[in-house]
Amino acid sequence: MNDPHFRTETDPLGTLPIPADALYGIHAWRARENFPDSERFSHAWYKAVGMVKLACFNTIEKFRRSSEKTFGKTLPIQMMGPEKVTALQKAAREVMAGKHFESFIVPAVQGGAGTSINMNVNEIIANLALQKLGKAPGAYADIDPLEDANRYQSTNDVIPTALHVACLQRLLVLEGQINRLRHEIEKVEAAHRNSLRIAYTQMQQAVPSSLGRLFSTYNEALSRDWWRMSRGQERLKVVNLGGSAIGSGLASPRFFVMEAVQELRKLTRLPITRSENMHDATCNLDPFVEVHGFLKAHAVSLEKMVNDLRLLDSDLVGKNDIHLPRKQVGSSIMPGKVNPVIPEFVISSAHKVYANGLIIDSLSAQGVLDLNAYLPIIGHAFLNSIELLIAANQTLTANLFAGLKVNVNAAEEKLFHSPSIVTALLPFTGYHQAALLAAEMKESACSVYAANDALSLIEKETLETLLSPGNLLKEGFSLHDLMDGNR
C-alpha cells in the first residue's frame, strides 16, 4: 500500500492498513472491528494500566542493572537497553497521566479476557516511545508492542492488577464523598436533636420521635458504608502482578516476579501486596463479588434515605416536615411543577448498581479452570458502580442537604394532633384513659391538649411535662418520671 496517510501492520492473521500517525495498531483495530460497542472504556482503568506498565519497565531496568552488576554484561538473555527503557518509561508516564486516551479505541464490552485492552495500551506506549526516539509510529523493528512494551508481562496479570489499582483509587474517592455527606447529615441531626415529629411504621403514624433521631439513622448507615469501603480496600489490595499467564510466573525472571509489585506500590502509594497464591488470584474473581456487595449495601442506604426524604417532601403528606431544594423545572406542560430530581437520580443510580452486581456475580462464576474470560465487563461494571455512587454522594451533598429546610412547627403540629401520641401516656394513665383521649382527638379532630381539656383526665401542667421533648425522647421511663408526673 503506497498511500502516505497509512502504514501497513502485520499480525499472524494478515495485514491491515492503519492511519500513519495513529498510536494504536493492528491489534486494537481488529478488536474495534470485532466488538462494535460504543461504550467507552474506563479512563481510570486506562490510567492504571499505564501505571502498571511503568512499574514493569522500572523493574526491568532494575533487573538489568542488578544482573550486570552481578554477572557482567555478557548474559544468557538479551536485556533491553537503557535508551529503549527510558523511552518506554516516558510513554507509560503519559498513559498514567491519562493522556492519549483518544487512541484507546477498544470498547468497554469485549471478548478475550482483556487481551485487547493490553494490546491497545502496548501499541500506544510502543508508538509513543518510538516518537520519543525520533522514529515514526509502526517502526516496530526498533520498539515492538509485544517484544518490548509487553516484556515479562501477560494480559492475565497486568490487566487485573490495573483493575485493582483503579478500584482502590476510586474507592478512596468514594470514601471521601461518603464522609462529606455524613458531615452534612450530622449538621441536620445536631440542629434538630430535640425537634419532635411523629414516627411512622408501615406508612402509618406510630409514636413520638425526633427529626434528629431520623437523620441519625441515615448517618449511622453511612458510617457503616464508610467502614465497608475501608474493608473493601483491604480485600482489593492483593494483586497477581508477576504471575504471568496463570500465576506461575512462567517466562518471567524471578527478580521481576518478586520486585514488580514493590515498584507498583511505590508508584501508587497504595498498600498493594503480591498474592501468596497468584494462581488463585489469577483465576478467581470473588473479591470483586464481595466488595461489590459493599457497594450495593451503600446503594441500599442511599436509596432508603432519599425515598424517605422524597416522601416527607411529597404533596401526599400535607404539611411537610422537610422541604427539599427546588433544583429544576419539572414539567414541559404543567407550569410551576417541580420534581424531586435528586432523589430520583440517586434511586436510578442505585438500581444500576444492583444490575451491575448481577453482572459481576454471574460472570465471576463463569471463570473456567485457570482464567476468567469476562474480567473486562466485570471490571467495567464494578468501576461504573463506584462512579455512580461517587456522583450520588456528590449531588446529595451539594444539591440536596446543602439546601434542605426542616419545618419544625409542622412536624410538631402533626405530632400533637396524632392520636398515636397517647402511647407516650400509657405508663401514667393506663390503656383505657389513653384510649379515651385518642378517641376524643379523632372525634373532634383536635390536639391532645384540647382533648384533655375536654375530658379533664390529666392536669395541664402534668400533661405538658409528660409530652415535653425531654420526656418523649428518653429511652424508656423510670419510676421517678411517674412519681414526678403524679406530684
In this model, does residue 193 exceed pLDDT 80?
yes
In this model, does residue 482 exceed pLDDT 60?
no
Instruction: Tell me what the mean pLDDT of segment 377-390 comes to.
Output: 98
331 catalytic per annotation: yes
**Residue that wins the pLDDT comparison between 205 and 478:** 205
Residue 368 pairs in a beta bridge with 371
Residue 336's pLDDT is 83
Give tens-digit pLDDT for 231-245: 999 999 999 999 999
Residue 484's pLDDT is 60
Instruction: Tell me what the mean pLDDT of segment 343-363 comes to.
Output: 98
Enumerate domains of the chain plus CATH numbers. Answer: 6-151 (1.10.275.10), 157-406 (1.20.200.10), 417-486 (1.10.40)
In this model, does residue 485 exceed pLDDT 90?
no
HEC secondary structure over the chain: CCCCCEEEEEECCEEEEEECCCCCCHHHHHHHHHCCCCCCCCHHHHHHHHHHHHHHHHHHHHHHHHHHHHHCCCCCCCCCCHHHHHHHHHHHHHHHCCCCHHHCCCCCCCCCCCHHHHHHHHHHHHHHHHHHCCCCCCCCCCCCCCCCCCCCCCHHHHHHHHHHHHHHHHHHHHHHHHHHHHHHHHHHHHHCCCCEEEEEECCEEEEEEEHHHHHHHHHHHHHHHHHHHHHHHHHHCEECCCCCCCCCCCCCCHHHHHHHHHHHHHHHCCCCEECCCHHHHHHCCHHHHHHHHHHHHHHHHHHHHHHHHHHHCCHHHCCCCEECCCCCECCCCCCCCECCHHHHHHHHHHHHHHHHHHHHHHHHCCCECCECCCHHHHHHHHHHHHHHHHHHHHHHHHHCHHHCEECHHHHHHHHHCCHHHHHHHHHHHCHHHHHHHHHHHHHHCCCHHHHHHHHCCCCHHHHHHHCCHHHHCCCCCCHHHHHHHHC
Give tens-digit pLDDT for 417-434: 999 999 999 988 899 999
In this model, does residue 205 exceed pLDDT 70?
yes
In this model, does residue 58 exceed pLDDT 90?
yes
Residues 6+ apart with CB under 8 A from 359: 377, 378, 381
In this model, does residue 111 exceed pLDDT 90?
yes
Residue 444's pLDDT is 95
Mean pLDDT check: name the lowest of 155-169, 380-394, 443-457: 443-457
Residue 32's pLDDT is 96
Nearest Cα neighbor of 244 from 253, 231, 233 is 253
In this model, does residue 78 exceed pLDDT 80?
yes
In this model, does residue 130 exceed pLDDT 70?
yes
By percentage, how much of the chain surpasses pLDDT 90? 86
In this model, does residue 308 exceed pLDDT 80?
yes
By percentage, how much of the chain surpasses pLDDT 70? 98
Residue 333's pLDDT is 85
Say which of 331, 444, 468, 478 is annotated catalytic: 331
Mean pLDDT check: name the lowest of 1-5, 171-175, 370-374: 1-5
Mean pLDDT in the chain?
A: 94
Instruction: Tell me what the mean pLDDT of segment 356-380 comes to.
Output: 97
Residue 332's pLDDT is 75
